[in-house]
């Protein structure tokens, strides 16, 4: 009663396989085009460096009770000089 549906090999070879390949290539192309279109945020090196100095100074202040006063003063002087911000 139920007949089997048979796909002709010529249709498979000349229609379905190229169509599948084209679909995969379009997906890959869309992925890379959208990746290129996205703008990556550019960070200013000076701002990043200043932010890292602030974080290190904050950590120094938090751990000041665990180090000798002479070491704390030396590190505080090191972080307060203008050399870091050039």
Domain boundaries, the chain: 45-85
Cα–Cα distance, 25 to 19 (Å, whole number) = 10
Taken as a whole, the chain contains a residue count of 86
Q: Pick the residue with more confidence: 16 or 85?
A: 16
**Burial classification of residue 47, based on how many CB atoms lie within 10 Å of its CB (0-12 exposed, 13-18 middle, 19 or more buried):** exposed
What is the average per-residue pLDDT within 23-29?
Answer: 98
pTM more than 0.75:
no
For 33-85, how does the pLDDT look when each residue is reduced to its tens digit (9 = 90+)?
A: 999 998 777 788 888 888 888 898 888 888 888 889 898 888 888 877 766 55
Q: How far is CA 62 from CA 54, 56, 59, 82, in A?
A: 12, 10, 5, 22
């Amino acid at each position: 009663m139920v007949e089997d549906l048979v796909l002709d090999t010529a249709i498979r070879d000349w229609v379905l396989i190229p169509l599948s390949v084209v679909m995969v290539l379009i997906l890959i192309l869309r992925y890379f085009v959208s990746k290129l279109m996205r703008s990556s945020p550019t960070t200013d090196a000076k701002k990043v460096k200043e932010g890292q100095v602030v974080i290190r100074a904050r950590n120094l202040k938090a751990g000041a009770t665990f180090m000798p006063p002479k070491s704390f003063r030396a590190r505080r002087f090191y972080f307060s000089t203008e050399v870091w911000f050039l």
